[in-house]
Structure 1
Amino acid sequence: MQKTEMKNLVWFRNDLRTTDNTVLHEACKTGNKIIGVYCFDPRHFEIDKFGFKKTEKFRAKFFIETIHDLKEQLHQLNIDLLVFQDLPETVIPKICEEHHITDIYLQKEWTKEEVDSEKLVKSKTEHLNWHHINNQLLFHPEDINFEIAKTPQVFTMFRKKLEKYVDVRQELITEKQVEDNRIENNTIIPKLADLGFKDFEMHPHSAFPFKGGETEGLSRLNDYFFNTKKLGFYKKTRNGLIGVDYSSKFSPWLANGSISSRTIYWNVKKFEKEHFKNQSTYWLVFELIWRDYFKYVSMKHGNQIFKLEGILQKDYDWSTSQTKIDKWINGETQSDFVNANMNELKETGWMSNRGRQNVASYFAKELELDWRIGASYFESLLLDYDVHSNYGNWMYVAGVGNDPRDRKFNVQLQAERYDATGKFRSIWLQPSLF
C-alpha cells in the first residue's frame, strides 16, 4: 500500500488536548491522513462493586465540556473528532474498516481497565499497526536514570534521583493538516441526560468554578501565573480550604489530559525567567513530581495498587460497616471538619488537598474502613480523579503504600490549624445548603 493511501486513527482517552500531545504529534508527522475518535464508554457510568457510579455528574459534565473543546481545537488543525457513546471495541473496528485505517495511535496506559479495553479493540484490529506512546509524564520513561522495577519506595529518593539529573522534554507543537484531511462527521457529543444525569448548576461556593477543556485549562494557567502572579504565593496558600486561588486547581485538566505536566513545567520556568523564582515556583514543580511518582509506582506494582493489602502487602483488620460508610459520605461523623469536607465534595465534586488527607485518614485510621471503598467514592465524585494519584494517595494514608511512617491525622488539630476561625466549616455545615 502506498503511503498516500495510509490513514492514522488517534484514539483519545485521557490525553484530551492538542497542545503538547505526543500521540497526536507522532500521528501527524507521518504525513498520513488523520482521524480522531473519542468514546464515552458506558462502562465508565456503571455501578462498581462498592455501589458507586464510576463517574458521577461532576466529572461527566467536565468531560462533555472537554470533548466539545477538543473537537474545536482539532477542527482548527483540520482534523475531525468522531465522538460515540458506545464501547470502543464496538466502535473502533467499524471506523477502521470504513475509513481504511492502517495505524492506531494512542496514549500508553498500564492500569487494568485501560489495558483490558485496548485488548478488546486489538482483538478485532490485529492486522493494524498499533503505536502506544508515553504522553502523561513529566519525566519520560526513556530518560529516567533507574529501572522502573527499581522505582524508589520513598518519594524523596525518587525526587532526588530526577529533579537535578533528568531533563524535562520540550513541549511539542502539532502542525495544521491539509484541508483535504477533513471527513464527513455526523457524530454528536452526548448531553448529560444521555449519560443518565440531570443537568445542574455549579454550586455558588465551589472552589472550582471552571469548565472542562484545553482552552479553559490554559486560560487558568495564564491567569494564575502571569495575570495575578498567584504562583509566587503557592507554597503559602496551598493548604487553604476556601476560594479559587488557594491552589493552582490544575488537577482536573491534568487528570483528563487537557493540559500536560510539561506545559505547566515550562510555564513555571518562563515565569521564573520573566518575574522571579522562589519556594512557591519550586513547590509547584515539586507537586508535579509527586504526580509522576504515583504513576511510576503503579507501573512498578501493577494491579497491586488496587488490592486491600496494598503494595506493602500489610494485613489489617478492615471494616465494611455500611453505617459508618454512610455517615462518612453524608457528613455525619463525629468530626465537624471531616463532615464539612465531605459535604463540599458531595455538592461540588471538589475537595482541597488538606481536606482529602484528613477525610481519607479518618476513614482508614479512625473508622478502620476498607480504604478501597473510600478510594472508589473519590473516583466517583472527584472532578480530578486520576487512577494513579487516587489509589497511590489512598494507600499512602491507609498505611499500605509509600509512607513508611504509617501516620494518622489528628483531624481536630488539623481543623484548629487550617480552619482556625471555623469559616470553612460554617460554609459547608449550613443546613440551608442541603
Structure 2
Amino acid sequence: MSRIVWHRRDLRLFDNELYHNAKKIYSVFVFDPSDYSLRSTGISDGNGGQLQSVKHGPHFSSRLISAVHSLRGNLQSLGGDLIIRIGNPVDIIPKLVQELNIEEVAWSEVPGYYEYEQSNALKKVLVLDFQRRCKLFTTCSLTLVHPDDLPTNVHVWNRLARPNEKKKRNGKVGKSELSASKSSCSCSTAYPNVVNISPARFEGMPVIMGDFRRVARTTTSPRELFPYPDSDCLTKEFSNGDLGEIPSLVELMKPLLDSSEPILGCITKELIAKLVQSANAMPRSNQIEEQSLHHLRDFVRNHAANADRSLCDVSNHHSSKLSLTLALGTLSPRQVYHCVKEEQSRLEQNGHDAADIDWLISHMEMRDYFLFNHFRQGRSSYNLHPIKPVHKPDMPRKWIPLSENKENFIKWASGQTGLPMVDAGMKELVSTGYTSNRVRQNMASVLTKDLHLDWRLGAEWYQLCLEDHCVAANYGNWAYFSGVGGDPKNRHFRTTSQLLRYDRHGKYIRKWLRIVSEDAEAALRPWAFEKDWPALIIDPYTQLTCHDKERLDSTGSILPLPSD
C-alpha cells in the first residue's frame, strides 16, 4: 500500500507510528503561509476591531527549519527523501495523492483550533469530495498516553478522578466498566483508523490537573516505542523530480517584517526586527533528532537527579531543556518516559535511589494535561474565560483593556518595567526564545495580577517569542497562572522576593541587565542603587512578601541577617 506521511509536529523517524504498516511511503512537509501571515487573535483592540499577530514567531520558525532539514537528511540516509511544499495542506496533499497514485494519507493530530479545522477539512476532501477516495490513518504522537487509552465515559472519568470520595457511594470501578469505556473509542469518529480528538471525545475529563493525572495513571501506561522505519518502505521516486526547497527564515518572516499594522496593536517594528535578528543569529544544526536523543540520555543519566529546577537561571543542566524537542516532535514524550524507566531500573539494580528522576515523568503527565485539556476546550481555549472553574475564584478578576494601559504593556513586552526579573526575562526571551519556568511565571504574574491586562496578550506575545511554543502548553499555563483555569487560585508572585529566593546573588539578573553597583542587593533592588535605572511601572513595595517588607522596614535591606 502506498502512503503519504504528512509531517506536522512529529519531525522524527524513531517512535513514529506513521512509518509502519505501509510498503511505499512518501514523506511530506508543508510550510503553510497562513502560519506566518497576520491573523486575528480574538482579542479586542478597544475600537471595534481585533488585535493581529502571527502563529509562528521567529525563534520557533528558525528551530522548525533546522528540524525539517534534519528530517530530510535522516530520510535521505535511509534511501528516502522529504517532499517540501509551500501552501495550504488541504490543497497540496490531495494534489500529491493524485500525482503519486497514493492509497492512504497518514498524519498525527496536533493541538490548536485552526489545526483541528484544517485536519477535518483534509479528511473531508480526501474521503468525500476527492475524485479518488483515499484511506486515512491518524494518530496522536505529541502526548505521553494515547487518546484511545483514556476513558470516554463521563461516569468513569468522574469516579476515577476522586476515588476516595466515590468509593462509599458507588463502589469501585470494575474492569468491565473500564474496558467498555475504552472500547467506545473506535466508534467515536466518522472515519475508521482515525483518532478522535474532538471536544466531545473528552467530555467528563477532569479540569483539575491532579485529577487528570490520577485517572491517566489508573487507566493506562504509555505504549511501547516504534522502531526506526524499514528503509525498504521509503521512496524518493517522484514523477516530476521536484522535491521542493526548504524556505529560509527571512522568507518566512517577510509578512511579519513588512506588516504595516503593529503586532498586538502596539509592538514596535524595531522590537519585531530585533526578535527576527536574534532568531537568525542563533546557531543551527541539521542533526536535531540525534542530538535530542543524546541530550535526553545524558541529562537523565548525569544531571536529572541534581537539577534545581526552581532557579531563575537554569543553565548548567538545571533544566531538561526538552520543551523545544517535544514541541517540534523531534523527540516523543514516550521516549522520555522509557528512558527514565530504563535508568531507574539500572539505579535500582545497583542499589541506588531511583526516585530523584521521577519528576521528568511527572512533567510529561502535566504536559499531557494541557494538551488534552486544549483538545477538550476546543475554540474556547482562546476565550478570556476559557473554562467553567470547579470553584469560585479566590478573588474577583478585573481586566483592563489594552487601550487603557497600552504604555505599560509596551514596557512589559520590551523589558522596560524597572522590575529586574521581568526585564531580564524579556531580554532573554527576545534574544534566545527561552526563559525558565520560574521567570515565565513571574512575568505572567506582573502582567495579569499587577497590571491587570488581558492574559491573552501575554500568551500571544510568548507565542511570538518562544522557540518552544506549543499552543496548548502556552495558553494552558497562562490561563492557569492568571486564575482563569479550572482551579482559579490567586497565584500572585512577588518578583523581588522571588529573586531573593531563586537568584539571591544576582547571577541571572547580571547576565541580562547592566548593574553597575557591586552591592549584594543591587541586583534585587537596582532602583535603590543605580542612578539611571528605568522608572518603575508599579510600586516595588508590592513585589515583596509581608515577611520581606518587615525586614526591609526594620533593617533597610531585604537580605537576611547572618543569624536569620
TM > 0.5 fold call: yes
How far apart are 1:280 and its partner, in Å? Answer: 3.0
Please state how far the C-alpha of 1:285 moved relative to its aligned partner: 0.8
Q: Pairwise mapping of residues 176-187 of structure 1 onto structure 2 (< 5 A)?
A: 176-178=230-232, 181-184=235-238, 185=241, 186-187=243-244
- 1:20 equivalent in alignment to 2:15: yes
| SS in structure 1 of the partner of residue 53 of structure 2 | coil
Read off the aligned partner of 2:475 and give its amino acid letter: Y
Of structures 1 and 2, the larger Rg is shown by 2
Shift of 1:423: 1.7
Distance apart, 1:202 and its partner CA: 7.1
Q: Distance in 1 between matches of 2:252 and 2:280?
A: 21
What corresponds to 1:115 in structure 2? Answer: 116
- Report which stretch shifted further, 118-127 or 403-412: 118-127
Check 1:61–1:349 CA distance in 2 against 1; reply closer, same or farther (3 A cut): same
* Mapped partners of 1:416, 1:10: distance in 2: 50
Are residues 1:253 and 2:254 paired? no
> Which range moved further: 362-371 or 86-95?
86-95
SS at match of 1:172: coil
Whether the 8 Å contact between 2:10 and 2:328 is mirrored in structure 1 is: yes
What's 1:192 paired with? Answer: 249
- Within 2, Cα distance between the matches of 1:318 and 1:367? 8
Percent identity of paired positions between Structure 1 and Structure 2 = 29
Please point out which of 254, 259, 262 is paired with 2:334: 262
* 1:226-375 → structure 2 map (5 Å cutoff): 226=301, 229-234=302-307, 236-275=308-347, 276-312=352-388, 316-320=398-402, 321-375=405-459
Quick one: which amino acid aligns to residue 408 of structure 2? Answer: K
User: Taking structure 1 as reference, are residues 210 and 404 closer, same or farther at Cα in structure 2, changes over 3 Å only?
Assistant: farther
Which amino acid letter does the alignment assign opposite residue 233 of structure 1?
N
**2: CA distance, partners of 1:75 / 1:131:** 24
Superimposed CA distance per residue, residues 138-160 of structure 1 (whole angstroms, 9 cap, x where no aligned partner): 12222235553222221122222
For residue 165 of structure 1, report the CA deviation from its aligned partner: 5.2
**Structure 2 Cα separation of the partners of residues 413 and 70 of structure 1:** 45
What is the TM-score when the length of structure 2 is the normalising length?
0.69
Quote the Cα distance in structure 2 between the aligned partners of 1:394 and 1:381: 15
- Aligned residue in 2 for 1:378: 462
**8 Å CA contact retained: 1:19, 1:172:** yes
Structure 1: which amino acid aligns with 2:236?
Answer: R
Residue type at the aligned position of 1:351: T
Question: Which sits farther off after the overlay, 7-16 or 276-285?
Answer: 276-285
1:34 matched to 2:118? The reply is: no
Alignment RMSD (CA, Å): 2.6
Helix, strand or coil at the partner of 1:106: strand
Deviations 1:375-416 (A, max 9, x none): 011111101111111111010011111333232111121111
Q: Counterpart in 1 of 2:296?
A: 221
In 1: Cα distance, 2:146 partner to 2:213 partner: 14
1:395 aligns with 2:505: no
2:399 corresponds to which letter in structure 1? Answer: D
Q: Give 3-state SS (helix, strand or coil) of 2:5's partner.
A: strand
Q: Secondary structure at the match of 2:106?
A: strand
- Give the counterpart letter for 2:148 in structure 1: E
Quick check: 1:203–1:348 contact (8 Å CA) kept in 2? no
One-letter amino acid of the counterpart of residue 116, structure 2: V
Whether the aligned pair in 2 keeps the contact of 1:397 and 1:403 (CA below 8 Å) is no
- Residues 74 and 80, structure 1, Cα contact 8 Å, conserved in 2: yes
Does residue 78 of structure 1 match 2:132?
no
Query: Per-residue deviation at 1:339?
Result: 1.0
Query: Does the 8 Å contact 1:155/1:290 carry over to 2?
Result: yes
Indicate the residue corresponding to 2:104 in structure 1: 103
Q: In 2, are the aligned partners of 1:209 and 1:244 still within 8 Å (CA)? A: no
Please give the per-residue CA displacement for 1:81-105, whole angstroms capped at 9, x wherever unaligned: 1012222133222211110112110
The one-letter amino acid paired with 1:341 is: G
Quick one: structure 1 residues 431 and 119, their matched pair in 2 at CA, closer, same or farther if it must change by over 3 Å? farther
Contact 1:336 1:425 in 2 (8 A): yes
> 2 CA distance for matches of 1:339 and 1:211?
33
Moved more, 403-412 or 313-322: 313-322
Asked if 1:65 is matched to 2:66, the reply is yes
Q: Which 10-residue stretch deviates more, 45-54 or 408-417? A: 45-54
- Equivalent residue, structure 2, for 1:3: none
Partner Cα separation in structure 2 for residue 165 and residue 92 of structure 1: 36
1:24 and 1:407 map into 2 onto residues whose CA distance is 44
- Higher deviation after alignment, 330-339 or 282-291: 330-339
Q: In the superposition, relative to structure 1, how do residues 86 and 369 fare at CA in structure 2: closer, same or farther (>3 Å)?
A: same
What is the alpha-carbon distance in structure 2 between the residues aligned to residue 209 and residue 40 of structure 1? 19
Report the CA distance shift for 1:43/1:203 in structure 2 as closer, same or farther (over 3 A).
Answer: closer
Q: Which residue of 2 aligns with 1:128?
A: 134
> Equivalents in 2 of 1:209, 1:109: separation in Å?
25
Q: 1:116–1:162: structure 2 CA closer, same or farther, 3 Å change rule?
A: closer
Moved more, 380-389 or 298-307: 298-307
SS class of match (1:105)? strand
For 1:401 and 1:80, locate their aligned partners in 2 and report how far apart those are by CA, in whole Å: 43
8 Å contact from structure 2 (residues 16, 226) kept in 1:
yes
Gaps of 5+ in 2: 41-50, 128-132, 158-201, 255-272, 517-564
Sort the Cα spacing of 1:19 and 1:341 in 2 relative to 1 into closer, same or farther, 3 A.
same
Q: 1:211 and 1:430, CA in 2 relative to 1: closer, same or farther beyond 3 A?
A: farther
Task: Give the unaligned 5+ runs of structure 1.
Answer: 1-5
CA shift, 1:311, in A, is: 1.0
Q: Which amino acid in 2 is paired with 1:300?
A: R
Q: What displacement does 1:24 show?
A: 2.6
Alignment of 1:135-150 (within 5 A): 135-145=141-151, 146-147=156-157, 148-150=202-204
The structure-2 alpha-carbon separation of the partners of 1:161 and 1:93, relative to structure 1 and needing over 3 Å to count, comes to closer
Give the whole-Å Cα distance in 1 for the aligned partners of 2:381 and 2:506. 36
TM-score of the pair, normalised by structure 1: 0.89
Partner SS state of residue 148, structure 2: coil
